[in-house]
Amino acid sequence: MSEFETIQNYYKKLVINYVKTNIQPDNSDVNYLADVVCVALNHLPPRYIRYEVDMAFYLSPVERQEMDAKIKSAVEDAVLFIKKSTQKIQKKKA
């Protein structure tokens, strides 16, 4: 493993966990949850780290609360965006 393979966006895991815990899958679309994660991540600032343990030392409780609020908002917005997009596609097909 090269040193570059350890680089990751800290928000990715947090958003995936939030989505898995709080968002119901759309049984008609197998890509729904992945789409929600992608749209949400595109609306969050990247926060690159090499190791998750690094964040434990540098992230204050207030910063973590702010990140959690941003994640919740980004995911809720992503769900609405995907619902609207799906409705537009369904109208065009009808």
- The per-residue pLDDT for 4 is 92
Query: How many structural domains is the chain composed of?
Result: 1
In the predicted structure, residue 8 carries a pLDDT above the cut 80: yes
**Residue span of the structural domain in which 29 resides:** 3-93
Q: What is the pLDDT of residues 40-93, one digit of tens each?
A: 999 999 999 988 887 877 889 999 999 999 999 999 999 999 999 888 777 777
Q: pTM of this prediction?
A: 0.87
What value does the mean pLDDT take over residues 26-49? 92
- Give the pair of three-digit tokens for residue 39: 């749209």
DSSP 10-44: HHHHHHHHHHHHH----TT-TTHHHHHHHHHHHTS
